[in-house]
C-alpha cells in the first residue's frame, strides 16, 4: 500500500537542512486542531528559518475564506482532514498543481490527487467496534453492518460527517451506486439511535450500553489506549474491533492532507513544507502525537497504533473516491440517514 525510498529520504533531510537560509514566511490555513502538531511546526521553523503564521478554523470556513480572498489571499497552505474536504478545496479552485519529486516518491499514488493538487500525509482506518460480551459474531465487512441480525445495535455518525461521506463514496466506487444505496438503507434500519456526536461518542455508546456495534476512526480508539479518554478508557478492554473487508478490498482509510494555495505568495516555502510533512520525523509525529497511520511506509508506529494489529488497507485511488462524494451525499438524503 505504501512506499519509501532511502535515497529520497536522505535527499529530503539534506534539502531541509540546507534551506535554513531560506527564511521568509509560510502562511498556513489549518483545520487540524491537535496540540501535538505544535512540534511539527516548531521543528520545521527551526530547520528552515521560515516562520509559520497560522490561521486556524473549521475546514469549510477556511475554504470559504480562501474563496472570498481570491487572488489577494495570503494563504500558502491548506491543511485539513478527510478526502472530501481536500476535494472540495480543489473544486473551489483554491489549490494548485505541485511538481515535487520528493512527494511523488514518498506519498503513494492512491493518496495523491490525480492532478497533484493535494497529498495525504496521515491515514485513519474507519472500522467497526463492538461489545465483546454482547456480540459473539461481529460484522466482518461493511456490508455486514446492513444485515438484519444487527437491527437496533449500530451507532454511527450523521450523514453530514465527512468521514461517513467518504466511506459511502468508497463503497460506491467499489460496488456501484445501487449496492451502496442498499447498504445505507440497511444501516439506517439497524441504527440503535439517531446519529449524534463525534466518533468518540460512538465508542462511548458501546460502553454505556446504548449500542453494541459502532463505526469510528481508529485514532479515536488508539487515543483512549494512550491516554485517559472519559467514557472510553476505563472500559476499553470491553471493546473489540474489526478491520472490515479483509478478504476483499480492505479497510477504508481516510486522510489528513494538504495542498498549496492557488495564489500562494510563498510558493517555494509551501512546497518545502509539504515535503517536510513527508519526512520520517514528521510522519512519526502523526503517529506518535495523534495516533494516526503514516502515509509513508516503514515509519515507526506509536505503541497505541501498533496495538491495533496488522491489517489489509484499501488501496483504492482516493481521487476516484472523491469524485463519488456528491453521489454519496445524495444517497444519504434518499435513504433518510439523518
The string of pLDDT tens digits covering residues 122-154 is 999 999 999 999 999 999 999 999 999 999 999
Residues 13 and 115 placed together within one structural domain of the fold: yes
User: Could you give the number of structural domains in the chain?
Assistant: 2
- 188 and 134 assigned to the same domain: yes
Mean pLDDT across 275-304: 94
Q: Please, what sign has the CA dihedral across residues 69, 74, 80, 83?
A: positive
pLDDT at residue 39, rounded to an integer: 84
Instruction: Average the pLDDT over 295-321 and give the result.
Output: 95
**pLDDT score recorded for residue 4:** 38
- The CATH number of residue 291's host domain is 3.40.190.10
pLDDT greater than 90 at residue 21: no
Residue 18 pLDDT exceeds 70: no
State the Cα–Cα distance between residues 73 and 173, nearest whole angstrom. Answer: 35
- 263 pLDDT more than 70: yes
33 is in an annotated binding site: yes
- Cell digits for 202? 460512538
Same-domain pairing of 296 and 269: yes
Q: Look at residue 76 and tell me whether its pLDDT is greater than 90.
A: yes
Q: For all residues of the chain together, what is the average pLDDT?
A: 92
How far from chain centre, in Å, is Cα 172? 18
252 marked ligand binding residue: no
Helix or strand or coil: residue 309? coil
List helix spans (H) across 107-248: 162-175, 177-190, 199-208, 218-226
25 and 117, same domain (yes or no)? yes
Sequence-separated (6 or more) residues with CB below 8 Å from residue 42: none
Whether 278 maps to a domain, the answer reads yes
Q: Among residues of the chain, what percentage have pLDDT more than 70?
A: 92
Q: Which among 240, 236, 255 has a CA at the least distance from the CA of 166?
A: 255
Residue 326 sits in the same domain as residue 192: yes
Q: What is the pLDDT of residues 312-331, one digit of tens each?
A: 999 999 999 999 999 999 99
Note whether 92 and 236 are same-domain residues. Answer: no
Residue 55 phi/psi, 5° resolution? Answer: -120, 120
Select the highest-mean-pLDDT range: 16-25, 34-43, 219-228, 280-289.
219-228
Mean pLDDT throughout 289-301? 93
| Residue 314 lies inside a defined structural domain of this protein | no
pTM score, whole prediction: 0.90
Amino acid at each position: 500500500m505504501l512506499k519509501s525510498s532511502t535515497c529520497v529520504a536522505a535527499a529530503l533531510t539534506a534539502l531541509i537542512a540546507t534551506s535554513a537560509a531560506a527564511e521568509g514566511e509560510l502562511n498556513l490555513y489549518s483545520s487540524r486542531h491537535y496540540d501535538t502538531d505544535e512540534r511539527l511546526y516548531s521543528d520545521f521553523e527551526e530547520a528552515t528559518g521560515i516562520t509559520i503564521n497560522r490561521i486556524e478554523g473549521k475546514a469549510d470556513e477556511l475554504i470559504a475564506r480562501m474563496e472570498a480572498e481570491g487572488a489577494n489571499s495570503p494563504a500558502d497552505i491548506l491543511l485539513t482532514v478527510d478526502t472530501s474536504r481536500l476535494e472540495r478545496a480543489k473544486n473551489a479552485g483554491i489549490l494548485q498543481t505541485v511538481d515535487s519529486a520528493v512527494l511523488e516518491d514518498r506519498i503513494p499514488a492512491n493518496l495523491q490527487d490525480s492532478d497533484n493538487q493535494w497529498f495525504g500525509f496521515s491515514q485513519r482506518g474507519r472500522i467497526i467496534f463492538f461489545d465483546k460480551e454482547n456480540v459473539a459474531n461481529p460484522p466482518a465487512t461493511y456490508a455486514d453492518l446492513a444485515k438484519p441480525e444487527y437491527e437496533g445495535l449500530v451507532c454511527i455518525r450523521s450523514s453530514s460527517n465527512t468521514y461517513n461521506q467518504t466511506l459511502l463514496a468508497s463503497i460506491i466506487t467499489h460496488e456501484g451506486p445501487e449496492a451502496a444505496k442498499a447498504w445505507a438503507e440497511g444501516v439506517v434500519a439497524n441504527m440503535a439511535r439517531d446519529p449524534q456526536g463525534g466518533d468518540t461518542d460512538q465508542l462511548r455508546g458501546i460502553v454505556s450500553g446504548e449500542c453494541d456495534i459502532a463505526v469510528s476512526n481508529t485514532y479515536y480508539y488508539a487515543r483512549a489506549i494512550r491516554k485517559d479518554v472519559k467514557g472510553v478508557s476505563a472500559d476499553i478492554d470491553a471493546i473489540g474491533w474489526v478491520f472490515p473487508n479483509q478478504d476483499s478490498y480492505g479497510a477504508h482509510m481516510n486522510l489528513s492532507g494538504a495542498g498549496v494555495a492557488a495564489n500562494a505568495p510563498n510558493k517555494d516555502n509551501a512546497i518545502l513544507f509539504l515535503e517536510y510533512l513527508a519526512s520520517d520525523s514528521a510522519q512519526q509525529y502523526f503517529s506518535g502525537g495523534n495516533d494516526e497511520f503514516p502515509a509513508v511506509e516503514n515509519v515507526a508506529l506509536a505503541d497505541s497504533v501498533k496495538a491495533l494489529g496488522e491489517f489489509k488497507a484499501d488501496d483504492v485511488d482516493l481521487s476516484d473516491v472523491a469524485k463519488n462524494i456528491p453521489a454519496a451525499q445524495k444517497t444519504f438524503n434518499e435513504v433518510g440517514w439523518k
